[in-house]
Amino acid sequence: MAQPKYLTGDTAALNEFLDKFDTFLLDCDGVLWSGDHVFEGVPETIKLLQSKGKRTVFVTNNSTKSRAEYHAKLTSKGIPCQVEDIFGSSYSAAIYIARILKLEPPRNKVFVLGEAGIEIELKSEGIEYVGGTDPAYRKLGMAPEDFEGIASGATLDPNVGVVLAGLDFHVNYYKLAHAHGYLRGNHVSAEDKATAKDGGKALFLATNIDSTLPMYHNFFPGAGSASVVALSNMIGEQPLALGKPSQAMLDAVEGKFQLDRARTCMIGDRLNTDIQFGVQGNLGGTLAVLTGVNKKEDWEKPDAPAVPAYYVDGLSDLRGAASS
């Protein structure tokens, strides 16, 4: 396989790279920032791309914020953008549930393992949910009646048809036990189980499966670890994940912008989400940055999930291109 081309400090290569693309899809965590710390030169780099007539679209797997909240964060950090330029995994999941799954009543509610971002996007698509940020689920420990209620289904909502797992800074045993109860179909009566699709078990969806979350120049538990893999391990099944590398997210971006995939480049720090997303989507290019999860040695491994076409040390190295 061709080795990625290193662009940092190579003005001619940078110019050639930028000329190839009209649209840049940018991951956020690990590319623009680490938590609340924006990497040096990032706002100027985005402005440079925009000044060259490039479209910049922000495609993030972080489900904790809605598009509106991302818009507020990006603009507060000096990165110009519109709400329409933002695609989050919460939005992608809400679109999938509302427009593809089209759950039939009565089991058309979603049990959420996640933060407000998911709730806001579900609401915007008119989807009912339980769990999420409801203080009733922000509980530590299990009382005997908690075990009994989940086991019998008495304290579960009979109308749940989907468990949607995302990044949840408030994840706990109580929430995991509820999600597991729904995935087992504990909430569906014996009579209904006999006729229900999948025996009444809730469908298992995930906003994303990122194992870690780059924050504060370090790494923290990602959605994939703190909620998704825990549930997968209990039920022995993988979820349908709606964030990158799922092509459902790229289809949504393309649907909105009538993308020319050949003239679109995905920029990200993670091989098994960002770079794989671009490669599987047949985008014209993929650019890896080394400010996040993956490093050069990761794509040099024989079992690398995907190899980028280009790489730079950090996003702001794109400023090394000649000004037009």
Q: What's the DSSP call for residue 243?
A: S
> Is 90 in contact with 123 (CB distance < 8 Å)?
no
* Residue 91: other Cβ atoms inside 10 A: 27
User: Active site includes 27?
Assistant: yes
Question: Closest distance between a second copy and the C-beta of residue 4, in Å?
Answer: 22
- Of the candidates 117, 230, 120, the one whose C-alpha atom is nearest the C-alpha of residue 174 is 230
- What the block records as the tokens of 241 is 């994940």
Give CA–CA dist 61/268, Å, rounded. Answer: 11
Check residue 168 for interaction with a second copy (CB under 8 A): yes
Nearest approach, Cβ of residue 224 and a second copy (Å): 6
Interaction of residue 205 with a second copy, rule CB under 8 A: no
134's tokens: 């409801």
Cα angle 137-140-143, degrees, rounded to a multiple of 5? 90
**Separation CA 82–CA 267 (nearest Å):** 19
Q: Does 223 bind a second copy (CB under 8 A)?
A: no
Q: For a second copy, which is the closer residue by CB, 15 or 172?
A: 172
Which residues between 131 and 150 bind a second copy (CB under 8 A)? Answer: 138, 140-142, 144, 147-148, 150
**Residue 234 touches a second copy, criterion: CB under 8 A:** yes
Which of 29, 85, 168, 274 is an active site residue?
29
Minimum CB–partner distance for residue 92 and a second copy (Å): 22
Site map 40..79 versus a second copy, x via CB under 8 A: ----------------------------------------
> Catalytic residue at 192?
no
CB of 125: closest distance to a second copy in angstroms? 26
Strands 109-113 and 55-60: unpaired
**Residue 200, number of CB atoms within 10 A of its CB:** 23
Which residues of this protein are in contact with a second copy, per CB under 8 A? Answer: 35-36, 138, 140-142, 144, 147-148, 150-152, 168-173, 176-177, 180-181, 184, 186, 211-212, 215-222, 224-226, 229-231, 233-234, 236
